[in-house]
Structure 1
Amino acid sequence: MSIPGLGQIAPPQPTTTSTTRTITLRPFWEYRFEVPRRTGPTTVTPSTTNLPTGTTPSTTSATTIRLTTGKAERDGTELALNHTYAFPRGTRARILTYTGATLEVAGELPASERVAQYARPEDSPEVQVLNLHFALQEARKKAKERSRRDGGRPEQQQPPPGPRVLICGGPDTGKTTVARTLTGLATRAGGQPLVASLDPREGMLALPGTVSAAVFGTVMDVEDPAGGFGVRGTPSSGPSAVPVKLPNVYYFGRERVEEDVPFWRTLVGRLGGVVRAKMAADLVVGESGLVVDTPPASVAKGDIEMLRHAMMEFAVNIVVVVGSPDVQAALQKAWGSNKTLYGEPITFLPLDQSDGVVPRDYEFTKFTREAAIKEYFFGDAKRTLSPFTQSVGFDDLVIFKTPDDAEEGYDNRPDGLERAEISAEMSHWTLAVMNASVNDPLETIRQAPVMGFVAVADVDEDRRRLKVLSPVSGRLGNRPLVWARWPEPYINLLG
Structure 2
Amino acid sequence: MSIPGLGQIAPPQPTTASATRTITLRPFWEYRFEVSRRSGPTTSSATASSLANPAASTSAAASTNATTIRLTTGKAERDGTELALNHTYAFPRGTRARILTYTGATLEVAGELPASERVAEYARPEDSPEVQVLNLHFALQEQRKKARERRSAGGRPDPPPGPRVLICGGPDAGKTTVARTLTGLATRAGGQPLVASLDPRDGMLALPGTVGAAVFGTVMDVEDPAGGFGVRGTPSSGPSAVPVKLPNVYYFGRERVEEDVPFWRTLAGRLGGVARAKLAADSAVGETGLVVDTPPASVAKGDVEMLRHAMTEFAANIVVVVGSPDVHAALQRAWGSNKTLYGEPVTFLHLDKSDGVVPRDYEFAKFTREAAIKEYFFGDAKRTLSPFTQSVGFDDLAIFKTPDDAQGDYDNGPAGLERAEISAEMSHWTLAVMNAAVSDPPETIRQAPVMGFVAVADVDEDRRRLKVLSPVSGRLGNRPLVWARWPEPYINLLG
TM-score by length of 2: 0.95
Letter in 1 for 2:65: S
Q: Quick check: 1:130 aligned with 2:144?
A: no
- Which of 72, 77, 84 is equivalent to 2:81? 77
Letter in 1 for 2:86: N
Instruction: Please report how far the alpha carbon of residue 478 of structure 1 lies from its aligned counterpart in structure 2 after TM superposition.
Output: 1.2
> For residue 247 of structure 1, what is the aligned residue in structure 2?
247
How far, CA to CA, are the matches of 2:94 and 2:373 in structure 1?
14
Letter in 2 for 1:101: A
Matches within 5 A, 1:332-411: 332-405=332-405
> For residue 483 of structure 1, what is the aligned residue in structure 2?
483
TM-superposition CA deviations, 1:279-332 (whole Å, max 9, x none): 100000000000000000000000000000000000000000001100000000
How far, CA to CA, are the matches of 2:473 and 2:9 in structure 1?
20
How far, CA to CA, are the matches of 1:413 and 1:24 in structure 2?
55
Change (3 A) 1:13 1:494: farther
Corresponding residue SS for 1:102: strand
TM-superposition CA deviations, 1:433-491 (whole Å, max 9, x none): 00000100111000000000000001111222111000111111310000000000132
> For residue 34 of structure 1, what is the aligned residue in structure 2?
34
- Which of 118, 143, 152 is equivalent to 1:148? 152
Check the 8 A contact 2:436/2:479 in 1, yes or no. yes
> For residue 165 of structure 1, what is the aligned residue in structure 2?
165
TM-superposition CA deviations, 1:68-115 (whole Å, max 9, x none): 111000000000001000000000000000111110101111010000
Corresponding residue SS for 1:50: helix
Check the 8 A contact 2:6/2:386 in 1, yes or no. no
How far, CA to CA, are the matches of 1:230 and 1:148 in structure 2?
35
User: Bigger shift: 453-462 or 56-65?
Assistant: 56-65
> For residue 61 of structure 1, what is the aligned residue in structure 2?
65
How far, CA to CA, are the matches of 1:458 and 1:5 in structure 2?
18
How far, CA to CA, are the matches of 2:318 and 2:409 in structure 1?
40
How far, CA to CA, are the matches of 1:29 and 1:204 in structure 2?
28
How far, CA to CA, are the matches of 1:484 and 1:217 in structure 2?
32
User: Bigger shift: 60-69 or 219-228?
Assistant: 60-69
Letter in 1 for 2:319: V
Instruction: Please report how far the alpha carbon of residue 50 of structure 1 lies from its aligned counterpart in structure 2 after TM superposition.
Output: 1.8
How far, CA to CA, are the matches of 1:5 and 1:134 in structure 2?
46
Check the 8 A contact 2:183/2:195 in 1, yes or no. yes
Letter in 1 for 2:144: R
Check the 8 A contact 2:263/2:408 in 1, yes or no. no
How far, CA to CA, are the matches of 2:477 and 2:488 in structure 1?
26
How far, CA to CA, are the matches of 1:403 and 1:323 in structure 2?
37
Structure 2 portions without partners, runs of 5+: none
Instruction: Please report how far the alpha carbon of residue 159 of structure 1 lies from its aligned counterpart in structure 2 after TM superposition.
Output: 0.8
Q: Quick check: 1:454 aligned with 2:454?
A: yes
How far, CA to CA, are the matches of 1:339 and 1:350 in structure 2?
19
Change (3 A) 1:369 1:423: same
Letter in 2 for 1:433: V
Change (3 A) 1:455 1:12: farther
Change (3 A) 1:73 1:494: farther
Q: Quick check: 1:46 aligned with 2:50?
A: no
How far, CA to CA, are the matches of 2:377 and 2:187 in structure 1?
28
Percent identical among aligned pairs is 89
> For residue 468 of structure 1, what is the aligned residue in structure 2?
468
How far, CA to CA, are the matches of 1:374 and 1:248 in structure 2?
21
Q: Quick check: 1:110 aligned with 2:114?
A: yes
TM-superposition CA deviations, 1:126-167 (whole Å, max 9, x none): 0000000000000000000001112x644xxx1100000000
Corresponding residue SS for 2:277: helix
Q: Quick check: 1:329 aligned with 2:333?
A: no
Cα RMSD for the two superposed structures: 2.2
Corresponding residue SS for 1:448: coil
Letter in 2 for 1:61: N
Q: Quick check: 1:294 aligned with 2:303?
A: no
TM-score by length of 1: 0.95
Letter in 2 for 1:380: D
Corresponding residue SS for 2:90: strand
> For residue 284 of structure 1, what is the aligned residue in structure 2?
284
Change (3 A) 1:2 1:365: closer
Change (3 A) 1:412 1:423: farther
How far, CA to CA, are the matches of 2:354 and 2:410 in structure 1?
41
Structure 1 portions without partners, runs of 5+: none
> For residue 194 of structure 2, what is the aligned residue in structure 1?
194
State how many pairs are aligned.
491
How far, CA to CA, are the matches of 2:70 and 2:188 in structure 1?
20
